[in-house]
């Protein structure tokens, strides 16, 4: 839809923009002399898909999803901007065994809902938002607040409720500070949930380092492990948990990066008292045909009652190959290997780009009952052997 643009005053009935405009004028000295321009945009994404799989009780699945998004911006002319985003996720799926049984489900929930005030070297964003960082692409120890799966064509992940502030320095360093509240359910590497009513908070500092950059991250929450089955006593609630993370990325002819995380609980809760994650990765584009992009990562993770005791150890490797078939098509292959369980995950995708339409044809060959850490929602259809076709329309 064509953006609506107005200069100066807002029309009657725009209650929220008028309120935000008043806040902005109050915050900027002399701001009432600045001519502002506001922009309202609507966009969306519709997708439909069908899949067949051996990893489900119902072998045939059909589904669809619609994300409606509205963005509003106010530019003041002093390199300051106030903007907001609101989007909803409407989706549903149905699985069936021909002439036998049928199962269906649907959802309607907010996807993003935030307001941001930003300038040349800072931004503050509050509301339901995506927060992610780190250097790794597939096996990510710093996947603290999202569940992005590189095999997902839509690259969708639920957001978190909170406030995020970032400062960008002139030497390309940046500082992050965040606080989260009222987020339900465990995130990717979490054990248990966050204690009800307890805020979470943390920060990150990223600095230039030789030919690349390096960063330190920290996060704190009160963990509730009372619902973890078969291993945690039901009285174990309100457990202080600290996370420390490090990541760095460098260009030395090939891309090199590392990413690490240590999650420590300030109470003895057995093997999950300490969780350790370390990933090494590299990528390179080989001059074959249109260019074969290769990305490899290796993750080592362990748990233990004592820090760095490494009582229980596991390793995962991931290889991603991408090859462009001209300007509008691309083929991607992703392979995961669980060395301890000796499980192999295989994924192949062909993408074709049209003007507003994208077509994905995917095939997979995976274990029937084992999922990867970031795997959730519709991506559980990647269990077993099967194929999926998806059409995506963006406007």
pLDDT digits (tens, 9 = 90+) for 338-359: 999 999 999 999 999 998 899 9
Q: Which of 198, 199, 283, 189 is nearest to 245 (CA)?
A: 189
365 is in which domain, residue-wise? Answer: 121-394
pTM of the model: 0.85
| pLDDT the model gives residue 23 | 41
Q: Which band of pLDDT confidence, cut at 50, 70 and 90, is reported for residue 187?
A: confident
52 belongs to a structural domain? no
The chain-wide mean pLDDT, for the chain, equals 87
**pLDDT score recorded for residue 235:** 66
**Would residue 3 count as lying in a domain?**
no
Among 207, 213, 206, 202, which residue's Cα sits nearest to residue 243? 202
Kindly state whether residue 255 falls inside one of the protein's structural domains. Answer: yes
Residue 282 lies in a domain: yes
Has residue 32 been placed in a domain?
Answer: no
**Cβ distance 259 to 241 under 8 Å?**
no
In terms of phi and psi (left: phi > 0; alpha: psi -120 to 50; beta: otherwise), the region of 321 is beta
> Collapsing DSSP states into helix, strand and coil, what is residue 350?
strand
Between 37 and 333, name the one with better pLDDT.
Answer: 333
Question: What domain count does the chain have?
Answer: 1
Domain membership flag for residue 91: no
**What pLDDT does residue 22 have?**
44
Residue 59 lies inside a defined structural domain of this protein: no
Per-residue pLDDT tens over the stretch 215-270: 999 999 999 988 776 655 656 788 999 999 999 999 999 999 999 999 999 998 88
Lowest mean pLDDT among 10-24, 30-44, 128-142, 273-287: 10-24
Mean pLDDT for the stretch of residues 3-27: 39
Where does the pLDDT of residue 11 fall: very low under 50, low under 70, confident under 90, or very high at 90 and above? Answer: very low
Cα distance between residue 373 and residue 231, in whole Å: 19
Q: Which of 70-84, 334-348, 352-366 has the lowest mean pLDDT?
A: 70-84
Which helix H or strand E contains 23, and what residues bound it? helix 15-27
**pLDDT band for position 273 (50/70/90)?**
very high
The closest alpha carbon to 69, from 6, 3, 15, belongs to 3
The answer to the question of residue 141 being in a domain is yes
Which segments of the chain are extended strands (E)? 4-7, 37-53, 60-75, 81-97, 101-118, 122-129, 160-168, 174-180, 193-194, 200-209, 212-224, 239-251, 255-265, 274-286, 292-304, 312-324, 329-338, 343-353, 357-365, 385-394
């Amino acid at each position: 839809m064509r953006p609506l643009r107005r200069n100066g005053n807002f029309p009657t009935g725009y209650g929220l923009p008028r309120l935000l405009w008043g806040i902005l004028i109050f915050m900027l000295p002399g701001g009432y002399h600045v001519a502002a321009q506001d922009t309202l945009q609507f966009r969306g994404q519709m997708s439909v898909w069908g899949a067949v799989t051996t990893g489900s009780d119902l072998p045939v699945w059909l589904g669809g999803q619609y994300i409606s998004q509205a963005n509003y911006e106010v530019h003041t002319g002093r390199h300051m901007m106030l903007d907001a985003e609101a989007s909803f996720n409407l989706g549903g799926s149905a699985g069936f065994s021909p002439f036998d049984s049928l199962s269906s489900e649907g959802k309607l929930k907010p996807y993003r809902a935030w307001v941001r005030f930003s300038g040349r070297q800072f931004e503050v964003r509050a509301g339901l938002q995506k927060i992610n960082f780190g250097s790794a692409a597939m096996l990510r120890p710093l996947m603290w607040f999202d569940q992005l799966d590189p095999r997902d064509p839509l690259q969708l992940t639920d957001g978190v409720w909170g406030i995020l502030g970032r400062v960008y320095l002139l030497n390309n360093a940046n500082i992050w500070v965040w606080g989260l509240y009222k987020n339900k359910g465990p995130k990717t590497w979490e054990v248990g949930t966050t204690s009800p009513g307890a805020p979470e908070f943390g920060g990150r500092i990223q600095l230039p380092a030789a030919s690349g950059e390096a960063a330190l991250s920290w996060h704190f929450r009160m963990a509730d492990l009372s619902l973890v089955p078969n291993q945690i006593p039901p009285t174990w609630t309100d457990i202080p948990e600290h996370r420390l993370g490090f990541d760095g990325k460098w260009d030395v002819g090939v891309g090199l990066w590392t990413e690490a995380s240590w999650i420590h609980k300030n109470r003895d809760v057995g093997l999950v008292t300490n969780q350790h994650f370390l990933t090494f990765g590299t990528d390179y584009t080989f001059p074959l045909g249109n260019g074969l992009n290769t990305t490899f990562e290796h993750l080592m993770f362990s748990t233990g009652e004592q820090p760095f005791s490494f009582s229980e150890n596991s390793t995962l490797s991931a290889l991603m190959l991408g090859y462009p078939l001209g300007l509008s098509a691309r083929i991607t292959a992703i392979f995961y290997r669980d060395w301890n369980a000796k499980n192999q995950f295989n994924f192949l995708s062909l993408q074709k780009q049209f003007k507003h339409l994208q077509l994905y044809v995917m095939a997979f060959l995976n274990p029937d009952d084992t999922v990867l850490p970031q795997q959730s929602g519709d991506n559980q259809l990647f269990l077993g052997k099967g194929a999926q076709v998806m059409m995506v329309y963006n406007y």
